[in-house]
Structure 1
C-alpha cells in the first residue's frame, strides 16, 4: 500500500479472535490493512471507505490522477452553475392556456402532476412506424444553409403557400391579408383577450380567433386537423405560422437541416417538405423597406377534389 505511511490513515484494531469464524476464513487471502486472513487488501471495504473519505477531504491529491479531461469536466460544471445573464423571449401567448384564471391554474397543474407522479394521461395506443431522416432527404437541399422551414398547407380549401413552421411559437397564427383572400368574413372571428408576446417583449393584440380545417401531407400519407388560428393584422412575408399546438397534434418531428416535417399517419410516415426558395424569398421580403411586398398572396383558386376511380353511370 502506497499510503501506509500517510498520517491521515487510521489503522483498525486487529480482528476479534472468534475461533469458529477464524477457522472458516480463507487462508490464501491476507489483508495488510487488518493484518489478518480472510480477504485480500484490494477487497477490503474498510480501507476503500477511508480512502474515499480522505480523497473528499483533499488529503490524497498526490495519489489521485488529474488529467485534462477532469479539468475540462470541472470547468463545464462550474460554467453550468453560473446564473444566466438574461432571457431571450420567443413568441408566446395564444389560447392553449385559456383566458380565465381557473383555466390557467389547471394548465399549470397538469404539468405539476406529471412531474410528481411521473406519468401523463394515456393516449390511444397504436403501432406507429419509426420516424427518421436520411441523407436522401438532404440531397434536395442546398448546403450549407440557415433557412427556415416554409411549407405549403391546404387551409380552408385553399392551397396556402409560405407557411412558417416555428417550434418556438406557442400559437398558430394566420395573418389577416391571407384571412381576407380566403373569402372569410370578419364576423366569423371570435374575440380573444390574450396578446401575443414576441421578441423583445413586444405585444400584439390579435384580431380574433377562427377554427379552420388544415390538411398536411400528400394522399394517402396526410392528416386533417381543425386548427385554432389567431388572426393577426400586421405585415409579414408569411401567410401563416404553425406552432407547437398543431405540431404536437400531428406528432410531428421537424428537421431544420433537412428542411422537412415528418409525422405518422394511418398509411405510413407523411412528409411536408420545406420550400428553400420560398424561405429565402420570405427572408428578403422581411428585410425589404417596402412593407407593401411583405405579405405574400395565397392561391385564390379553390381546389376541387377529383375522383380516384372511374365513375359508373347508374340509371335510377
Structure 2
C-alpha cells in the first residue's frame, strides 16, 4: 500500500544483518557512519570480543558528542542485495536498532526517499525496491520523544552488594527538600522584584 498522506517520517526498514532479521533500521543520509546498538549484537549472540576496540567520536546536530565502543564488520542482506559493512558500536538507549548511513547507501548505490518511503537499488537483474515501514517509523519517532530512563548496568556480581550498600546508607540521601537542613534561606527563598509604590491590579 502506498503512502498517500503528507508526512515527515524517517525511512525505517527491516533487513537481515548477519543471521538475524533486524527491525527498526533507520536509513539516514545525514549520518557519515553505519551504527549498531550493543544490545542488538548481544541478542545476535555476538561476543564483545569480536568488536575491534577502535573508538570514534560521534558529533550530534547540536554539537553533543558520544564515543563508540569500537567497530565490527557484518554482512547485510535485503531484497537479494548483499553487502559487507563496517558498523560503529554504540551502547546507549535508542529507538533504532541500526542506523544505515552514507557508507551503506553509497556501497549499494541506493536511492532512498523518505517522501515515498522506499529505497531503489540498481542490480544486474533490474531495480530492486526496499519498502519502508511507515508505522514503525512513527513508533520510533514517538519513542524518541519520551523522556529517557536512567540505566543501571552494573555487572551481575556487583549488583546485590551495591543495592545492599545503598539501602544501608539510605539515610545519607536527601529524598525531599525537608531532608536538606542547614541550607541558607537565601538559596531556597525567591523574592519578587516588585515596586511597593505601585498599586496591585487584578
TM-score scaled by length of structure 2 = 0.71
Which protein has greater RCO, CA pairs closer than 8 Å, 6+ apart?
2
Is residue 48 of structure 2 the alignment partner of residue 213 of structure 1?
A: no
- Structure 2 counterpart of 1:244: 102
Once the two structures are superposed, the pairs formed by residues 2-41 of structure 1 within 5 Å of their partners are: none
Post-superposition CA distance 1:247-299 (Å, at most 9, x none): 0011111112101111011211111110000000001111112548xxxxxxx
1:271 partner SS? strand
How many residues align? The count is 150
RMSD across aligned positions (CA)? 1.3
How far apart in 2 are the matches of 1:247 and 1:229?
13
Once the two structures are superposed, the pairs formed by residues 1-316 of structure 1 within 5 Å of their partners are: 140-217=2-79, 222-291=80-149
Moved runs in structure 1, 4+ residues, more than 4 A? none
Between structures 1 and 2, the one with greater strand share: 2
Residues 56, 70 of structure 2: 8 Å contact kept: no
- Structure 1 counterpart of 2:190: none
Between structures 1 and 2, the one with greater helix share: 1
How far apart in 2 are the matches of 1:167 and 1:160?
19
Q: Which runs of 5+ in 2 are unaligned?
A: 151-202
Q: Which runs of 5+ in 1 are unaligned?
A: 1-138, 293-316
How far apart in 1 are the matches of 2:148 and 2:109?
38
How far apart in 2 are the matches of 1:194 and 1:207?
8
TM-score scaled by length of structure 1 = 0.46
- Structure 1 counterpart of 2:192: none
Larger Cα-atom Rg? 1
